[in-house]
């Protein structure tokens, strides 16, 4: 026992594995006996497996049959098996597609109702004719509204798309030139169309109401005419009494600053509400357009399953709008901008039916 403890306490040389020679480093680590044993066992097992497969192929009966062979086939050494799905008749598929079209039509009707509701809200909020005299600094919120407003309102039909001027299918914008004698008459001139349309509610009235709503001001009628006294006693809460006392005791400068701050807060809240409505309307318009194309495609597939010779006119896809004016911005590699998605178009041969 004493000798073993003495032997263990003495310094021993560290054991070092034999490494690969410098000239054979390209071959990797030096193989030990245990590595060779593992490699030999793996090689022999694979060799025995190949030998068994060769014997099985040599002893195979060419006339043997299993019922599993009916639904299986082998292509390029890969075995494929049928899942047992029986193809449905065309009449049943057409009925199922009719049900699918009915569901898509129901969802699209829901989207259209949402679009009409949002258009009714935006009809009184959206600034359909931007004010010329607004010289306020544009914030990030105003930039977002400006980017989204025009395209969304044109898609929804609240704004008419201006026809393209010049050559093309679109008609040119009509112009009317009025001549005046003096410069003062030019400045004081108002077109007759504006005077006639001022009595009827239209986009201009919506714009004026939205401008007053965004600025936080109320119409002149409500400010000039006080509410009628019907004899009712209006209860006043303690918070309102305290606020009224604070307003009465404050100086006019503080009152003006508070009023301006409240008006700015109302303006920001109105702009955020308007931006949310525009985003919601844009989402519903995109969804309704996708459902419309899906409904058209399902009806087309159902008609293609019917009888009669047909010919494809156009393969559909997203149309490309090419700018002829040489714009600097190019959304596509070919210099065009992506337009609306167009469905496939087929033409059936006219048949005389009894």
Domain coordinates in residue numbering, the chain? 89-126+144-157+201-217+256-293
**Helices 90-125, 140-156: crossing angle, 10 deg rounding:** 130
Closest CA to 107 of 294, 281, 277: 294
Give the β-pairing of 345-348 and 310-314: antiparallel
Q: Average pLDDT for residues 196-204, to the nearest whole number? A: 44
Buried b / exposed e across 285-311, counting CB within 10 Å, b at 16+?
bebbeebbebbeebeeebeeeeeeeee
Which of the residue ranges 56-60, 66-70, 319-323 would you say has the lowest mean pLDDT? 319-323
State the Cα–Cα distance between residues 90 and 93, nearest whole angstrom. 5
Closest CA to 312 of 342, 347, 341, 343: 347
State which H helix or E strand residue 339 sits in.
strand 336-342
Closest CA to 147 of 275, 324, 26, 56: 275
Q: Is the pLDDT at 209 greater than 80, yes or no?
A: no
State the Cα–Cα distance between residues 211 and 116, nearest whole angstrom. 22
Q: Is the pLDDT at 176 greater than 60, yes or no?
A: yes
State the Cα–Cα distance between residues 222 and 214, nearest whole angstrom. 17
pTM above 0.75, yes or no: no
Phi, psi (5° rounding) for residue 204?
Answer: -65, -40
Q: Average pLDDT for residues 32-39, to the nearest whole number? A: 94
DSSP structure class, residue 17: P
Q: What is the pLDDT of residues 212-248, one digit of tens each?
A: 444 444 444 444 556 666 656 666 666 666 666 665 5
Q: What is the pLDDT of residues 240-274, one digit of tens each?
A: 666 666 655 567 778 788 888 888 888 888 888 88
Q: In the structure encoding, which two tokens stand for residue 51, read together?
A: 């030998």
The residue that leads in pLDDT, 113 or 138, is 113
């Amino acid at each position: 026992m004493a000798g073993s403890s003495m032997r263990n306490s003495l310094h021993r040389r560290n054991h070092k594995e034999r490494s690969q020679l410098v000239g054979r480093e390209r071959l990797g680590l030096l193989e030990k006996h245990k590595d060779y044993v593992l490699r030999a066992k793996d090689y022999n097992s694979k060799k025995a497996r190949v030998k068994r497969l060769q014997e099985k192929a040599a002893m195979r009966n060419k006339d043997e049959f299993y019922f599993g062979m009916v639904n299986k086939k082998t292509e390029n050494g890969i075995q494929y098996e049928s899942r047992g799905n029986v193809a449905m008749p065309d009449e049943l598929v057409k009925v199922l597609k009719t049900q699918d079209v009915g569901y898509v039509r129901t969802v699209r009707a829901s989207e259209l109702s949402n679009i009409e509701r949002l258009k009714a809200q935006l009809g009184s909020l959206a600034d359909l004719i931007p004010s010329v005299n607004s010289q306020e600094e544009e914030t990030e919120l105003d930039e977002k509204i400006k980017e989204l407003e025009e395209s969304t309102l044109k898609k929804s039909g609240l704004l008419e798309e201006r026809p393209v001027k010049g050559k093309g299918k679109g008609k040119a914008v009509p112009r009317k030139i009025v001549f005046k004698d003096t410069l003062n008459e030019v400045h004081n001139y108002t077109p007759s169309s504006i005077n006639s349309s001022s009595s009827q509610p239209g986009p201009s009235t919506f714009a004026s109401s939205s401008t007053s709503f965004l600025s936080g001001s109320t119409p002149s009628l409500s400010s000039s005419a006080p509410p009628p006294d019907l004899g009712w006693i209006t209860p006043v809460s303690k918070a309102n009494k305290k606020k009224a006392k604070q307003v009465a005791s404050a100086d006019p400068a503080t009152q003006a600053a508070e009023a301006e701050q409240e008006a700015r807060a109302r303006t920001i809240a109105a702009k955020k509400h308007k931006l949310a409505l525009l985003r919601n309307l844009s989402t519903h318009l995109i969804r309704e357009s996708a459902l419309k194309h899906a409904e058209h495609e399902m009806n087309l597939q159902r008609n293609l399953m019917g009888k009669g010779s047909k010919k494809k006119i156009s393969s559909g896809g997203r149309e490309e709008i090419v700018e002829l004016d040489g714009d600097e911005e190019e959304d596509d590699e070919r210099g065009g901008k992506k337009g609306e998605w167009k469905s496939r178009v087929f033409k059936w041969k006219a048949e005389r039916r009894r």
